[in-house]
Amino acid sequence: MARRPSRRDLLKALGLGAASVFAPRRLSGAKAADAETKPNFILIMADDLGYADVGCYGCKTIRTPHIDALAARGMRLTDYHSNGAVCSPTRAALLTGRYQQRSGIEGVVTAKGHRHTGLAPAETTFAEVLKSAGYVTGLFGKWHLGYRVEFNPVRQGFDEFRGYVSGNVDYHSHIDQVGEEDWWAGEKLTPEKGYSTDLISKHGEAFIERHRDRPFCLYLPHEAPHYPLQGRNDKADRSPGKPSRSGAAARTRPPPTRR
Map out the domains of the chain as residue ranges.
38-74+84-221
Closest Cα partner for 165 from 148, 179, 92, 155?
148
pLDDT at 77: 86
pLDDT band at 251 (very low <50, low <70, confident <90, very high): very low
**pLDDT tens digits, residue range 3-43?**
444 544 434 443 433 333 333 344 454 455 335 589 999 99
**pLDDT tens digits, residue range 211-246?**
999 999 999 999 999 999 999 999 999 999 887 665
Residues 6+ apart with CB under 8 A from 65: 55
Task: Please give the residue that has the higher pLDDT: either 254 or 69.
Answer: 69
**pLDDT tens digits, residue range 148-171?**
999 999 999 999 999 999 999 999
- Looking at every residue in the chain, the average pLDDT score rounds to 85
Q: What is the mean pLDDT of residues 96-104?
A: 94
**pLDDT tens digits, residue range 58-78?**
999 999 999 999 999 999 888
Catalytic residues: 87, 144
**pLDDT tens digits, residue range 75-94?**
988 888 888 889 999 999 99
pLDDT at 51: 84
Closest Cα partner for 91 from 6, 9, 165, 197?
165
Task: Please give the residue that has the higher pLDDT: either 120 or 34.
Answer: 120
Answer yes or no: pTM beyond 0.95.
no
pLDDT at 7: 45
Distance CA 241, CA 236 (A): 13
Q: Which CATH architecture has domain 38-74+84-221?
A: 3-Layer(aba) Sandwich (3.40)
Residue 176 and residue 182 in contact, taking contact as beta carbons nearer than 8 Å:
yes
Residue 191 has pLDDT above 80, yes or no: yes
Closest Cα partner for 19 from 212, 221, 215?
215
* Strands (DSSP E) found in 75-123: none
